[in-house]
A and B are shown apart, each in its own frame.
Chain A
């Protein structure tokens, strides 16, 4: 499978900090880049998504930054809270029919 490389594997921040999770891809045909959030014992849930025609998208405290030339995108969580502690997955797919390919995930812990 074509890869989506995610880093870091784990991240610890204090409440109010701004954790940043990065992803890189190789396939230039990818045109949809979502982030999923997973809590223990649950399935991943869509958090926010971006298309390559924009460089940034914000939804509440969550922001995706997209750099098409570098083939990278990142998730920023503003004013992080203990309730944001979860595993975050980046993913990518193509409009032409490729199912979502996920990164390996980042376990975020926000301490109070």
Chain B
């Protein structure tokens, strides 16, 4: 398996623009997670899905953020409109379980810069 695949690897956009981050989880993993990493706040959980259904979105910062998982092999995280404070590395991860055995497999991340 190629692992968790994220695209793009880097994104530079202007404030106010829409940004879409994409993720392909490992086949057979029922759980998909979106995390955001910054120096100040570390790794923060934004949202996670189980079998394509959003389970916990309490970490989504505000209504400008939305996430979808239309099928088992694809998820998107959208920011509209983007702001400079959204600059961070966004990670997608997938796993067989939510918090126990097996661990999470992370993608290589998308580094987002909003200018």
Q: Do A and B form a real pair?
A: yes
Known: A45-B105, A99-B98, A103-B42. 15 other contacts (CB 8 A): A1-B45, A34-B103, A43-B91, A43-B106, A43-B108, A45-B106, A46-B103, A46-B104, A94-B99, A97-B98, A99-B45, A99-B56, A100-B45, A104-B41, A105-B43
B40 to A, closest residue via Cβ: A104
CA distance A110 to B112 in the complex (A): 29
CA distance A93 to B45 in the complex (A): 12
Using an 8 Å CB-CB cutoff, how does the interface string of B90-114 with A read, 1 for contact, 0 for none? Answer: 0101000011100111111100000
> Given the complex, which residues of A lie within 8 Å of B45, measured CB to CB?
1, 99-101
CB of A19 closer than 8 Å to a CB of B: no
CB of A49 closer than 8 Å to a CB of B: yes
Within A67-106, the residues touching B (CB, 8 Å) are 89, 93-95, 97-105
The contact size tier of chain B is: 20 to 34
Chain A interface residues (CB < 8 Å from chain B): 1, 32, 34, 36, 41-46, 49, 89, 93-95, 97-105
Given contacts A32-B99, A99-B33, A99-B98, contact A43 B41 (CB under 8 A): no
Contact A32–B43 (Cβ < 8 Å):
no
Interface contacts (Cβ under 8 Å), in number, total: 61
Would you give 15 A-B contacts (Cβ < 8 Å), ordered by A? A1-B45, A41-B108, A43-B107, A44-B91, A45-B105, A89-B43, A93-B100, A97-B55, A97-B98, A99-B56, A100-B99, A102-B43, A104-B42, A105-B42, A105-B43
> Given the complex, which residues of A lie within 8 Å of B35, measured CB to CB?
102
CA distance A98 to B104 in the complex (A): 13
A interface: dominant SS: strand
A51 to B, closest residue via Cβ: B100
> Given the complex, which residues of A lie within 8 Å of B42, measured CB to CB?
89, 102-105
CA distance A103 to B44 in the complex (A): 9
